[in-house]
Amino acid sequence: MAFSTPCLPRTNIQRLLLQLCALLCCLPLWAGGIALESYHGVEQDGRLSIDARFLVSLDAMHENALLSGVPLTFAVEFTLTKPRWYWAWRRVADWFDPTARIEYRLSYHGLTRSYRVGVGTLYRSYDTLDGALRSLGVVRDWMVAERGSVTKKLDSRFAGHLTMRLDTDKLPKPLQLGLLGDAEWKLNSEQTTVEFEEAQ
């Protein structure tokens, strides 16, 4: 008795492997997450500012919470780490905080079936969740620190860490208690080091 194994042409095998790779690359997006797509640090007239774009995706659990009326707050945070002597001195001298923060509030309104993204007192509405998520992680000309008079004549390079995360502390209290230790609710980007270049 002879057994035979069907052979696939080489091109079909390559096509299947490519499709599998594409599928695996998409899994993090289906699972929900935050990734830093681009960033640029600029120093101009003693101001340290950042332009950045984060890609935010929600999984079914976060999306269902949003559709049920739970607003989600995302925080973009920058922490100055270099030069260390500078921010240590500023902190002692004038209570300087080496961390800067922007909060984005994402909410859904059932009556209008629209999504809203708020920064401070400014809000903008979107017809789709994709549109709201695209605007969520856009940072433009965000001043995170000033060089200050002490270092104006010193050639010190400045750098720091940039991240974005879902701030679970801003969720409703009953939900916070139910999520204690639940890692699935955490959404955050990897910590990225940003260096500042002098403006041309």
Query: Cβ neighbours of residue 78 under 8 Å, at least 6 residues apart?
Result: 50, 99, 100, 101, 142, 144, 160, 161, 162, 194
The total of structural domains in the chain comes to 1
The predicted pLDDT at position 24 comes to 38
Query: Cβ neighbours of residue 74 under 8 Å, at least 6 residues apart?
Result: 34, 56, 103, 104, 105, 106, 136, 137, 164, 165, 166, 167, 187
Q: Tens of pLDDT along the chain (200 residues)? A: 554 444 445 555 555 444 444 443 444 444 579 999 999 999 888 888 999 999 999 988 899 989 989 899 999 999 888 876 665 655 555 556 678 899 999 999 988 999 999 998 899 999 999 999 999 889 999 998 887 654 554 556 788 899 999 998 888 776 655 554 555 678 899 999 999 888 77
The predicted pLDDT at position 92 comes to 52
Tell whether 19 is covered by a domain.
Answer: no
Please state the pTM of the whole predicted model: 0.74
Domain that holds residue 113: 32-198
Tell whether 14 is covered by a domain.
Answer: no
Tell whether 7 is covered by a domain.
Answer: no
Q: How far apart are CA 77 and CA 100, in angstroms?
A: 6
